Structures are given as C-alpha cells and as structure tokens.
Structure 1
Amino acid sequence: MAILTFIRDRLARHRAAVAAVVAMSIKAGGALLTLTVFTLAARAMSADEFGRLAIWFNAMSFLAVAAVFGQDTLIARNFGEYAGKGDYAQAWGAYRFGWRWTLISGAVFVAGLIALAPLIYPDIARTALLAGAFFLFTQTALHYSSHSSRVAVNIVVSETNRELSWRLVLLVVVIWSVLHQGLTPAEFFAAAAIGQILSLGAQLIYMRRSYRTHSVTLLRDDDRKHWFARGLAMWQSAMVEAASLYFDVMLIGYFASPAVAGDYFVAARIANIFMMVLTGLNTYSFSHSANLYFSGQTQKLQDILRMLVLVGTAMVAPVLLLIYVFGVQILTIFGQRYAAVYPTVVVLATACFIMSMSGSASVILLTTGHEKLYSRVITYATLARVALTAVLAWAFGAFGAACGWALINAPLFMALGAICRRACGVDTSIVSVLTYLRARPRESATLSTDVAGPGESKPTAS
C-alpha cells in the first residue's frame, strides 16, 4: 500500500508530464498505424497508383480541415473560457453552435466535391468519388468531435478515437484487400469513413455523459456574432496550416509526377512522427491553455508548457538519431525503390525536430485571443513556402520540395515561439527549460545568502 501511495503521489505531482506522455504515445500509435497502412498500400500498388492515392488522401484531408470551418479550434477556446468561469449554459451553447456550422459546412464541401471533381478529373471512378466524399464528411465531423471532447471530457477519450480506433478498422480492411484482391482507392476511403463513424459514436457517448454532469436548463448563445468572427479568423489560420501540411504532395504531383509525389509522401509520413509528438503537445495545451490564461494562472501555464516541451524533446531526440543511422533500412520497408528518398527524409526530419522543440506556440496564440496575429504570420509564411516548394519541386523533385518546406517552416516555428513569449508572456520552446535551469542556481545562492543573514559568514565549499 505504501508503494501504491508513493506512485500515486508521484503521478499527481507530475500530472502534466504523465498526460503529455499519454497524449504523445497515442499520437505516436496513430503515426505507426498510418505508416503500416501506407506501407502495405505502397507494396500492393504501382508507383503511379500509390502516388495518386497519396495525392487524393492529402486533398481530402485538406478539405476536411477547411470544411470544419474553424469550429474545432473555436470550441477549444470557447468551452475552456466559459467552463473555467462556471458558465456551462454558454459553454454548451457554444458546443451546439459549433456542431451546427460544422455539419452545414461539411455538407456544402461534400456537394462541391461531388459536383466539381468530375470536371477537374474526368477519369475518376464514381465509386472512388463517393467513397472520398463519405470520408470527407466523416473526417470533418471527427475533427470537431475530437476537439470538443478533448476540453469537455479528457484527452484519452478524444485522442484514442481520433488517432487509433478508425485507423485500426482501416488497417484490417487494407490487410484483407491486399491479401485477397488488391487495394482500390474506393475501398481505402470507405473503410476509413466507417472507422471514423465508430470513433465519432464513442466520443458522442462520452460527451453526453459530460453534459449530464454539467447539465443546464437552457443553453445560451448570446455571443453568436462574436463567435462567428472569432471562428472565421481561426478558420483562416487552419486553412493556411492545412495547406502547409497537405499541399506539398499535391504540388509535387502537379509539377513533377504522381510517382515523385509518392516518394515525398513516404518521406513525409516518416518525418511526421515528429509532428505527431508536436501535435501531442498541442493536444494537452489545447485542453488547458484558455482556462489557465483567462483565469490569470499564467505561471501554472508556463510550468506546464516547460514540462511538455522537455518531455517532447526527450522523446524525439532518439527518433532523429534512429532516422540518421537506419533511415535507408526504414525506407526499404515500403519497397526497395524508396531507399533513394533517404536525403529527403533527413531534411524533413531535421526540420521537424527543430519545430517540435519550439513547442505549442500556435495553440497558445490561437486560444488566448491572438488568433488574428497568428493568422497573418502563418499566412505570409505559407505563401512563401508554397512558392518556394513549387519551384524547387519542379527543379529537384522530392528533395527540392523538402528543402523548400524546411527552409520556411523551421525558422517560422522558432519565430512563433518568440512571438508567443512577447504577446502572451509564456515561452513554449525548449529555451524555457534552459532559462529555468539557469535560474535555479541563482535562486539557491540568493536563498543561502538570506539564510546566512547580515554579518554572518557564508558557507564555503570544502
């Protein structure tokens, strides 16, 4: 019993670190499942077929971020702010407001996809188009449901269903298809959408339980106009971020070829392990930042952010070394031809490592009232990156595209950390850990002087 009590006390004392490890572990699990799915797909398809699947997957993922209309980020801000003040009538009113706009916007984007895709790609199969539209709608709903359950329930419910559950369903279907008849894009997107419906259902069950805990007689949405304006700014930022994540593969497919796009996609999936860790940091930050910031607990927020970036850096540093040493062997899991992508992986992984050490600056800016500032910075940076990536992809293929991505994004994330420190008063980067460690000896020295008192000799080293 004494041992259990000791463990429980230790876990309670380092709750932020434990929660960060849990969040990042779930994200890492999702990344590994994604790698497994696309490894099987790459081995089952030709280079051009896999490249087209990668292009369509990125396109649908981008449209899903656009279709949620910024409501995923908005609910993290609104629910955290109102629940922190005990105003659950407004908090649940904001939740209902977000669902309304998510479903309307999702339906509009699905209709646009079905109407416009055959005009842009006349050869697209009808089954693949309908499966892609199905995936688009379920992915949009899952985005909003995951962000809302993250702040209203907990990280485990949110991220387990967002990252793992639906990917497990997809993995089973992909394995069955590869072993029996080969994989088609229609099967891929349909299986993913069905898995996302199951994940969505699980999250909604827990959200209903949370609502019963804080149920109110009447939901209020007095700030609808303010929410809409705030959500619009967040939507613009989300669009730019999504473009930064998903446009590269589409640009390479256009300026080079589907096969080269597939090469870059494989490299990006491996480097995405770092971004999954960064997303894990953001996940925990999302669930606490607005509440702590608006309740005046800035120092507690800083302590959490310092712990998060320390844990994140400790987790990704060995991964970077592993990629440097065994990158070629890892790439050959996708197929022998992908060994040539090693330089691209090194460039992307190094940039992602630098970005992960910058911490959750984007989340803090978005959830503490600085969404317009963040939107301007990220928009200008992404426009520059897209232009540079397009030029370098056309000239040097996948490696050139990786250089364009890294040359903009790594400095951008370091700059966002500095902007967050100045605008919000908290430092999200690894610099906060170094500053804290430098301050500790000075505090100890000051304490020793105070204890010694005037006229008394200070302790000397023996």
Structure 2
Amino acid sequence: MIETILQFLRRDVTRGVVGTILLKVGSGTLAFALFSLAARTMSPDGFGIFATWLSVSQIAAVVGLVGQESLLVRFLNEYRVKDRPDLTKGVLLSSLGVSAVAMLVAIGAIAIVASMRGDGWLLIVAVSAYTAVSAGLMLGSQVARSLVSILMGEGNREFFWRVAVVLFLLAVLFGHRQLDPAELIAVITIAMSIGLVTQIAAVAQALPDFRGTVARSETSRWRSSALHFWIASILEAANQSFDVILVHWMLDPATAGIYFAASRLANIFAMLSAALYSFGARRLPSLYFSKNHREFEQTLKLMAEVTAFCVVSGLLLIWVGGPHLLNLFGPHFAAQHWVLIVLAIGTAVQAAGGPSAAILQLTGHERIYVPVVAANVALRLVGFLVLIPWLGVLGAAISATASLALATIALNILCRRRTGVDPSILALLRFSAWKRRAYAVRAAEPGE
C-alpha cells in the first residue's frame, strides 16, 4: 500500500494537482486570516460596508474584462498546440485592447454610483483603483498560467499580496486602531499592484519574439466565444458576490458582514474547485486539442480522487470546528454555525461535481454553459426574495445551496452528454464497479 501511494505521488500529474491545491489552500488560509482580522479591526457596519464594496468591485472587474480572461485560456492553448504564433500575437493584442477600454467604462460606472450614494472621495478612489488592479490580475493570471507557470499566475493573483496585507492588519490589531473600509481597500490595492507588476514582467520574458511576426485575427471566432465567456463570467461573479450585496440591501450591513464571513469559510470547497480549474485549465485543453484521450481521462480520474478526499475532510472540519472558526471573526459570528453548514453543503456538492464547467468551456461547448448559470442566478434570486423575509440570513444560505446543487447536477449531465466525460467523484464508483466486474470475469475463467 505504501509503495502504491509513493508511486501515486511520484507522478507528474499528481504533483501538479497536489501543488495547485496546496497553493489554493495557502491562499484560502491567508484570505481567511485577512477577513477575520479585518472584522476585528472594523466596526460591524464597517466590515459589512467593506465586504459589500469588495463584492461590487469583483463583479465590476469581471464585467470590464468582457470575457477576455477565459478567451485567452481557450485560444492560447489551441494556438500553442497548432504552433500558430501569428494568431497567438493577434489574440493577445485584441484581448488587451478590448479589456482596457471596457474597464474604463466599468470603473467610471462605479465612481458615478458611489458618488450618487454620497460616499467619500477616498472610498471612491480606493474602490475604483481596486477594481482596475483586480481585473489586471484576473487577466494577467490567465496568461501567466498558460505561458509561465501556475505559481506565477495564481501565486501573484491570490497568495503573495495577501501576506503583506495580513501583516499590516496584525500591526493594526496590536496597535488597537480601528480601520476605515477605504483604508483597507487602498492597502489591498497597493499590495496587489506589486503582484501585477511582477506578473507582467514574467509574462514579457516568457513570450516568444513577436517582432517579426505579423498578427493575424479570427475576429468572428473570438467575438462569438468572448460573448459567451463574458456572460458566463458575469453570472459566475454574481453567484459568488451578489449574495452579499442582496443581504446588505434586504437586511443590514452587519448581517451582510456575517454572511460574507460564513460564505468565505464555506468557500473551502470552492477553493478546491478553483484549484482543480487552475490545474485543468493549464493541462486539459492541450490534451483535448491534441486528442490525447487516454491521458485526458487519467487526469480527470486523478482529480476526482483528490476531490473526494478533500470534500470528506472539509465537511468534517466545518461540522466540528465551524463555531471556533467563526469566532475568529468575532463573538457575534459564532452564533451562525448553521448558516456556515448549509453554505458548506452547497459548495461541497459543487466541488464533488468536478470541473464540468471548465471542461464545457475549454472544449468549445461554452454556449450551453450560459443558460445553466443564468438559471442558477435566477433561482437564487427568487429564493432570496422568498426566504430572507421568512428565515433571515439562514434563508439566504438555503437558497444559495439549493441553486448551486441543481446547477452542478445540470452541468454534469451536460458534460457527460456533450464530451462523454464524467468529471465528478461518481466516476470513481463506476471505475471501481468496472474493476470488480473485470476481476470476477478473470476469476471465472478456467485455470483461475
């Protein structure tokens, strides 16, 4: 058994998956530390305002990118396999130009809305700058992940800058000083800017010499794919961030902060999904477009094995240690253990479903992905409107979990039908059943 485990760990694919998950775990741990420290260095209303504007900025960044971050993942891998530097240069220039113009519009919209609400100029500037830098990291991480490494892409997007912010918050906490939301957003923006500059420098070195290459375009393909990627990205961002905005609007800032904290803890499973997506987005498209079906399926099987282990462990952690984790945000957070459990069930189901969304999008089936995510958002919104007046913040958690579970089931069915691949942990059960049948057949043969 030990030898089997060692052989399992020696495989390049295993190390890639585990390394990516460890990076995400580290990022998630730092995010947890950041938000828990922020909650303790702010008033309850201040933390709720911070969480709400953070959610608004994340949605605005996705809107401003116009789907270009997913477009680059899709076509950089395809053009690399086909050895088309002319098209690679074309899609890079096109994506950078389109996203730059669209981001200016998105930032302008944020500034107008914030000024109409009567927010201070420091908060408006901080939120606008955070939105721009966050979008830059989203786009840059996709390019860096494809051309440099997962560490350069995801490390600068989610890990390294959080170390600096956590150290800053610890200093504030020990100094017994209370932060304003605008101050913390400004500090986060400065730290993220350093990561963005590092990312840009690494990508510039990794790019081939395009000086003698004439850029070519596949404008119609890019526009069609970008539209579907954009809609899907907006809907995904709404799934992740719009909840906090609605809770703030329907209840109050303090409750929005509580929901934000619980949802970020429950995102231990969404973190797993993101890690698998990051690994899959780097490896699966090249295997798919080069028609290496055997390695494609083996990679998915390994990802399912890792997912099954992490889902079981994570649910146990949330069930036993949830109150203690919530208490790190403050005493009034610990009373919402059931909100955390309900949210964790939803994200656990999503993680158990595997990277079906990524497979559909990265293999050219992005059009059928959009209606499922749209239905998920609509169902969640209806659930909020019905359940929040009745059950409060627990109603929001129930609505989020139910819609997420239904969307995960639908995406898995579509993935199996369109690609012939089951990326969920249920594939392991079918694989085990197949091995038992094969063993039974061999045992029944003469001489066995």
TM over 0.5: yes
Residues 304-453 of structure 1 correspond to what in structure 2 (within 5 A)?
Answer: 304-445=299-440
Counterpart of 1:458 in 2: which secondary structure?
A: coil
Cα deviation, 1:387-435, whole Å, max 9, x if unaligned, reads 2123212322211100000111012112211210110111110011111
Counterpart Cα distance in 2 of 1:96 and 1:441: 53
1:236 to 228, 231, 236: 231
Alignment-derived partner of residue 203 in structure 2: 207
Cα deviation, 1:182-219, whole Å, max 9, x if unaligned, reads 2122221111111221111222222122213x756214
Counterpart of 2:207 in 1: which secondary structure?
A: helix
Contact (CA 8 Å) 2:269, 2:311: kept in 1 or not?
A: yes
Q: Which runs of 4+ in 1 moved over 6 A?
A: none
Contact (CA 8 Å) 1:251, 1:390: kept in 2 or not?
A: no
Alignment-derived partner of residue 136 in structure 1: 131
How much does 1:23 deviate?
1.0
Counterpart Cα distance in 2 of 1:350 and 1:381: 16
How much does 1:260 deviate?
1.2
How much does 1:146 deviate?
0.4
Contact (CA 8 Å) 2:356, 2:415: kept in 1 or not?
A: yes
TM-score (norm 1): 0.91
Residues 185-264 of structure 1 correspond to what in structure 2 (within 5 A)?
Answer: 185-212=181-208, 215=210, 217-264=212-259
Structure 1 letter corresponding to 2:165: L
Q: Which has the larger radius of gyration?
A: 1
In structure 2, the CA distance between the partners of 1:115 and 1:435, relative to structure 1 (3 Å rule), is: same
Structure 1 letter corresponding to 2:351: S
Aligned residues: 444
Cα deviation, 1:130-189, whole Å, max 9, x if unaligned, reads 011000000011100001111122212111111111212222332333444321222211
Counterpart Cα distance in 1 of 2:200 and 2:79: 20
Counterpart Cα distance in 2 of 1:55 and 1:12: 41
Alignment of 1:272 with 2:267, yes or no, is yes
2:91 to 77, 90, 94: 94
How much does 1:11 deviate?
7.2
Aligned-residue Cα RMSD (Å) equals 2.0
Alignment of 1:458 with 2:428, yes or no, is no
Structure 2 letter corresponding to 1:438: A
Counterpart Cα distance in 2 of 1:142 and 1:416: 28
Gaps of 5+ in 2: none
Alignment-derived partner of residue 84 in structure 1: 81
Structure 1 letter corresponding to 2:407: L
Counterpart Cα distance in 1 of 2:293 and 2:369: 20
Cα deviation, 1:56-77, whole Å, max 9, x if unaligned, reads 1111111111111111111000
Contact (CA 8 Å) 1:29, 1:163: kept in 2 or not?
A: no
Cα deviation, 1:46-104, whole Å, max 9, x if unaligned, reads 22221111111111111111111111111000001110111122123212221222222
Contact (CA 8 Å) 1:359, 1:430: kept in 2 or not?
A: yes
Counterpart Cα distance in 2 of 1:135 and 1:171: 17
TM-score (norm 2): 0.94
Counterpart Cα distance in 1 of 2:392 and 2:69: 34
1:69 to 62, 66, 69: 66
**Percent identical:** 28
Counterpart Cα distance in 2 of 1:222 and 1:150: 22
Alignment of 1:113 with 2:105, yes or no, is no
How much does 1:284 deviate?
0.8
In structure 2, the CA distance between the partners of 1:436 and 1:219, relative to structure 1 (3 Å rule), is: farther
